[in-house]
Amino acid sequence: MVATHIVESEAPMLDKKLDVNDQDANNLAEAETTNVDPAKKSTKITSEDIDVYYGEKQALFGINLDILENSVTSLIGPSGCGKSTYLRCINRMNDVIDICRVSGTIKIDGNDIYDPALDVVELRARIGMVFQKPNPFPKSIYDNIAYGPRIHGLTESKDELDELVESSLVKAGLWKEVKDRLAGPGTGLSGGQQQRLCIARAIATKPEVILMDEPCSALDPIATATIEELIDELRQNYTIVIVTHSMQQAARVSQRTAFFHLGKVIEEGETTQIFTNPQNEKTQDYITGRFG
């Protein structure tokens, strides 16, 4: 059931680490000398040479991607390009797929999340996830939010839990709409409300990173706008990675964008730069709607 994390032989790995360190040092040196980048944000998640296989089929080819703290990074690309697969590597959601194998390293704050000593349950509490289709549990609104904190033992009293539920719902912009019916069913809400409930559920476990897999694809434009505003607010406190098929959405909500194609990162950088002045021809073609 657990995806094998292929540990490469010792020597090359050490080499690579050295390389990386060198690179980091170089980057730092560069950054210090040419410190013109207005986004002085530090890197939250680094990915090195991520390969993902579904059985025989390789889905991702050597992904190297840095995701900055307290910003929104959008992953765009045509269907089947591996954006969601990459997203699911970050909270090891691919572990639950039998035939899926992941190799390479993903580090969050410098800690390897595929470290065998790391508890995946704790990792997923630190990295919230919002899915394509709103998937509230068939429980009350309150229990939907309280479930995560309960299983992780985050709160020690009922009052504390009540507070956490309220603050999560407030942060997700849903409090005013549901405060009178917390005991009502979570699945009785509208699609957009359900998705915000799922965001609140993700926030409740006090994550640092929130992954969103096409969170608006099942929503109408108004609900989408609400969620987008919410994402913009959440950016203050969380690192957000969002997969989207909507170029406009990527342009609206994200500060950085990575373009995926056929399992590779073709181009990544500032969103404005990707959309106004793409360096790669394929990126250009995709964002102008010539394919994909």
Q: Using CB under 8 A, list all residues that contact another protein.
A: 1, 91, 93, 96, 98, 121-125, 128-131, 133, 135-138, 147-148, 151-152, 185-188, 198, 201-202, 204-205
* Min separation Cβ 129 and another protein, Å: 4
Given the complex with another protein, which of 133 and 179 has the nearer CB atom?
133
Work out how close the CB of 75 gets to another protein at its nearest, in angstroms, rounded to a whole number: 17
- State residue 280 phi and psi, 5-degree precision: -100, 145
Question: To the nearest whole angstrom, how small is the minimum distance from the Cβ of residue 213 to another protein?
Answer: 9
Asked if residue 249 lies in contact with residue 224, where contact means CB atoms within 8 angstroms, the answer is yes
Query: Which of 124/282 has CB closer to another protein?
Result: 124
Taking the C-alpha atoms of residue 28 and residue 224, their distance in angstroms, rounded to an integer, is 38
Q: Of 185 and 292, which CB lies nearer to another protein in the complex structure?
A: 185
Minimum CB separation of residue 170 from another protein in Å reads 18
By beta-carbon proximity to another protein, the closer residue of 207 and 263 is 207
Integer-rounded Cα Rg, in Å, for the chain is: 20
| Strand runs labelled E in the chain | 5-6, 43-54, 57-68, 72-76, 100-108, 111-112, 127-130, 209-213, 239-243, 256-261, 264-270
What is the smallest separation between the CB atom of 149 and another protein, expressed in angstroms? 9
Alpha carbons 240 and 278: distance in angstroms, whole number: 22
| 100 vs 287, beta carbon nearer another protein | 100
Q: Which is nearer to another protein, 136 or 263 (CB)?
A: 136
Question: Minimum distance between the CB of residue 91 and another protein, rounded to whole angstroms?
Answer: 7
- Strand ranges inside 122-263, DSSP E: 127-130, 209-213, 239-243, 256-261
Burial class (CB in 10 A: 0-12, 13-18, 19+), 159: exposed
Rounded Cα gap, residues 239 and 67, in angstroms: 8
